[in-house]
Amino acid sequence: MNRVLSPCELGLVGAIPRPKRTDWRIGIIGFGGIAVSHVSAYREAGWQVVAVADPDPQAQARARALLPGVRLYAAYQDLVADLAVEVIALLTQPTMRYPAVEAAFQNRKPVLTEKPLAVSAEEAERLAALSERVGIPLAVSQNYRWNCANFLAREVIRKGLIGTPFYAGIEIQGGQDVELADHPFYSKCEGFLTLQWNNHLADLLRCWLGRDPIRVLACTRRMKGQNFRSDNLLLSVADYGEGVTGHIIHSELLRSALRCARCRVDGDGGSVVFDLYGMQVTLQCERTGSEPCDIKPEGGVWASSFSGPMGELLRAIEEGREPETGASRNLPTIRHVVAEEHSARAGGVWKSV
């Protein structure tokens, strides 16, 4: 058993930072599957969801049941004009981003959009340019940055405890080829592991390494008889320059329960290893000596990661600065996964990001 330390004992931030105001009023556009996670995270943080827009009657019924008394609209144009709404959470599929963001900005309302920011680098650039031009924040819900272990790992790195990172690796072995075999979108889309999934993982590598990739090399494979249209095994290497490397192994082909979601970041002064969805990180560095230690949050509690990106946007508004996952800052994540998809289609050759 390793010695256990709290983040505070190492001088690390040990909880998801919150905005000063607790009574922010949020309007949600698109009340599908992921909206439920946003609503419970916002509620836990004390923020109010005052309005929902979705043309689908079933989605409206879901919103009414979850949020009694909420103002319901079929058209997002009515929601963004509602004076009760201060900030927008855009939770539609990425095929519906630009018109809703533009309408929100016309009403001077900042937007948090679900990931991915867009399905092409060009549209992502257009959205980032629009936000810059009007001077209203557009942030991306890269909530994996705020999962407990992922957040603590970044704190360890930011504090310089492992020195300068030279390698970050993620290995996921999962079973979505079976679990989501009938999913109307994921089982049939192109680029499932690159464009859809790796939006999270590419973003995490950037977040931990503190650098943007300059080129990527990816190879995807399939299993005979697999269910998904997309290849469901990915091997990917990213070059961040100056001897800094990122690496992703990702399979969703498992026909067993022997899953994993392992991560590590190695620096010239130590290493941190952890589970992508875990509640602790294991650290060995000069500070810990030869015995590694486990870092866990105080009381073993952690807020929903979905409160992370929205909380960061609200803090950025309060402090008059750009959010950490603002659209311009998110562009290298989109470029990474697009280059990865191109590399895989070309049979695994280096592609510039």
Ligand X SMILES: NC(=O)c1ccc[n+]([C@@H]2O[C@H](COP(=O)([O-])OP(=O)(O)OC[C@H]3O[C@@H](n4cnc5c(N)ncnc54)[C@H](O)[C@@H]3O)[C@@H](O)[C@H]2O)c1
Alpha carbon distance 330, 325 (integer Å): 6
Distance of CA 205 to the CA centre of its chain: 11
Between residues 232 and 271, which has the closer beta carbon with respect to ligand X? 232
Q: Among 86-94, 129-137, 257-265, 296-304, which window interacts with ligand X (CB under 6 A)?
A: 86-94
- Name the packing angle between helices 98-106 and 121-134 (round to 10°): 0
Is the CB of residue 110 less than 8 Å from the CB of residue 138? Answer: yes
d(CA 341, CA 30): 27
C-alpha to C-alpha distance for 252 and 175, rounded to whole angstroms: 5
User: Which residues make beta-bridge pairs with 170?
Assistant: 248, 263
Tell me whether residue 291 is exposed, middle or buried, using C-beta atoms within 10 angstroms of its C-beta: 0 to 12, 13 to 18, 19 or more: exposed
Residues forming a β-bridge with 275: 262
Cβ distance to ligand X smaller for residue 54 or 177: 54
Nearest approach, Cβ of residue 21 and ligand X (Å) = 24
Give the CB-nearest residue to ligand X.
32
The one among 42, 50, 54, 283 contacting ligand X by CB under 6 A: 54
Exactly one of 7, 19, 27, 94 binds ligand X (CB under 6 A); which one?
94
The minimum distance between CB 292 and ligand X, in angstroms, equals 30
Contact letters for ligand X, residues 114-133 (x by CB under 6 A):
xx------------------
Between residue 143 and residue 172, which ones bind ligand X under the rule CB under 6 A? 143
> Which residue in 41, 45, 59, 148 binds ligand X (CB under 6 A)?
59
Tokens standing for residue 345: 């289609």
Of the candidates 13, 66, 96, 134, which one interacts with ligand X according to CB under 6 A? 96
Q: Which residue has the tokens 């890269």?
A: 142
Interaction of residue 193 with ligand X, rule CB under 6 A: no
* Binding interface with ligand X (CB under 6 A): 29-34, 53-56, 59, 76, 91-94, 96, 114-115, 141, 143
